Structure 1
Amino acid sequence: MNIIETPIKDLFVIEPKIWKDARGYFYESYSAKHIAEADINAVFVQDNQSFSQKGTLRGLHAQAPPFAQGKLVRVIKGAVLDVAVDIRKNSPTYGQHFSIELSGENHKQLWVPPGFLHGFLTLEDDTIFTYKVTNYYDKNSEIGMIWNDPSLNINWNEQLKAAELLLSDKDLILPDFASFQSPF
């Protein structure tokens, strides 16, 4: 497993070693040993999975302490543009984001620690996205920010026009960056 630092402290891309032959492929999608060797302090308590059509945008979400979650995210089938936004007030990268394409073909994963908003845009139909999380869901701890805040300058994907996006009603009314109050 190759664990790669991103420009944002504590946010890592994880590339598994893949063994391929005529039958297909095999890889370890998770290894507690490798995660610990990278100084990622994570004990996972739940796995979540979503199924989405092309153009579905989920996010930007997090949970506030004491229910904050770290997430190890990956795509089983299809592809997403995955985005994490640093909302740790004392971080030198507060308000900055990192994005990466995760797909069933590249097998990359992203470790999103507590203190980050997270979201993704599906780039293909029938995308299956999975997350290992470090805390249980708590509805009263949900926080979020509007996906298209211009101050975040996230390039979601120029090929998908805003009118084609599929968003939940909840995601359409999230606050912008200027009004967002980070609990981290």
Structure 2
Amino acid sequence: MAGMVTLHGPRVTLRPWRLPDDLAPLHALNGDPAVMRHFPEVMDRATSDAWARRLDGHFTQHGWGFWVVETPDASLAGVVGLMHIPWQAPFTPAVEIGWRIAAAQQRQGLAEEAARLALAYGFGPLGLDRIVAFTPPANEPSWRLMEKLGLARQGEFTHPRLPADHRLNPHLWYRITREDWMAARLED
């Protein structure tokens, strides 16, 4: 794991993957209908394990990605981070910020704290020019967090990995530039 970045906040640690140890708690997260209500379906164990391996592979390639969120109470309270988007959309190529937090840890500000750490890393050491995020319109908690983080709504798009008539299509997409992020930090 040398060279892989770990980020620390007051209540959360964002750390690289520890496979296979993280597979069972990740499946508990991905298999929870409350957590996955704005995703196409809950994940079975094989699908969840494959997703973990893709996330870990991004870490192996880049040294950063979607981190495991640890808290004093949970070794895997969620997944938050940055990742290259592997499909085509009006805003790609791009790096996305995303989050998925366990139901027991939601509405405690953990996703916001973790996402702020990820944004600071993306615009700081990584030197990214912009970061995007996306979600179905029905996922109000997620797009409200995007706005709270300073991302601005850019419009809608049809998610290429979902059928056009799927209940979760279209998606909203948001963007924040390094300049906007820096300006907001100067105002604080």
TM-score, normalization: structure 1?
0.30
Structure number with the higher helix fraction is: 2
Which one has more relative contact order, counting CA pairs under 8 Å at least 6 apart?
Answer: 1
TM-score, normalization: structure 2?
0.30
